[in-house]
Amino acid sequence: MSFDVAAESYDRFMGRYSVLLAPQLADLAGIEAGGRALDVGCGTGALTRELVARLGPGAVAAADPSAPFVAAMGERFPGVEIHQAPAERLPFPDGAFDATLAQLVVHFMPDPVAGLVEMARVTRPGGVVAACVWDHAGQHGPLAEFWQAVRELDPFAHDESHLPGVREGHLVELFEAAGLAAVEGATLTANLEHPSFEAWWEPFSHGVGPAGAYVATLDHEAQARLRERCRELLPDPRVVIRAKAWAARGLAP
């Protein structure tokens, strides 16, 4: 699995869904003018853009372990403090932010509890920590049809349903294990219409995340079989994906 890909590739793949989640996660975290916020695992900036719109660039910071994403963020968001760093080792002092958020990140953290503990560390006592992850376990994420086709053609393939936080209630459990207080769960949605099947399929060829990494392992014929099975699962000329994400918020101790 890799996110060391061009920012534009991520934008065309998962970024198109991320922009739909960002306002909902910011609302869940209670982001409003006068506060200071951190976007952990910022990717190419869908959530950062929402935070900047609400708080201004000087009140927003961001971090991501991917060098290409950090480089793109520097160009896209002048005035935002941006660092290349994983969630488990954030380069910020204790209590630096009123709110710390992670959109579509917790399930990719090598140690999600440690990552959430670190997010709480850089949040002021009583400040908000919030995150969301796709409902991959319930097969309501934006990649459900893709992984269904993969499992039918390759029963031993590893999909994303086993990742941390992607089953109902697990993200809340991770927040509680990290010592966050007053933890609450929520559900976010992202409905996106693609103009054609090819517009939906093409981004899978860019090697982004587990899905892109899987496609990259296939030879030309296997890729063609997978593409055509996906086409059978998404037969309408315009592909409409209705996705659900689990969310949680808690207060830093």
Within a 10 A sphere around the Cβ of 231, how many other Cβ atoms?
A: 16
Please give the Cα distance from 250 to 129 (Å, whole number).
Answer: 5
The partner residues of 244 in beta bridges, in order of sequence, read 189
pLDDT of residue 2 exceeding 70, the answer is: no
Lowest mean pLDDT among 1-5, 18-22, 194-198, 204-208: 1-5
Q: Closest Cα partner for 171 from 119, 211, 135?
A: 135
Asked if 88 and 103 touch (Cβ cutoff 8 Å), the reply is: no
Measured at the alpha carbon of residue 39, what is the angle toward residues 143 and 30, in degrees to the nearest 5? 95
Q: What is the pLDDT of residues 89-138, one digit of tens each?
A: 999 999 999 999 999 999 999 999 999 999 999 999 999 999 999 999 99
Asked if 212 and 206 touch (Cβ cutoff 8 Å), the reply is: yes
Asked if 119 and 148 touch (Cβ cutoff 8 Å), the reply is: no
Q: For the chain, list the domains and their CATH numbers.
A: 7-139+158-193+241-251 (3.40.50.150)
Q: What is the pLDDT of residues 42-90, one digit of tens each?
A: 999 999 999 999 999 999 999 999 999 999 999 999 999 999 999 999 9
Q: What pTM value is reported for the model?
A: 0.95
Within a 10 A sphere around the Cβ of 177, how many other Cβ atoms?
A: 13
Q: What is the pLDDT of residues 150-160, one digit of tens each?
A: 999 999 999 99
pLDDT score at 67:
94
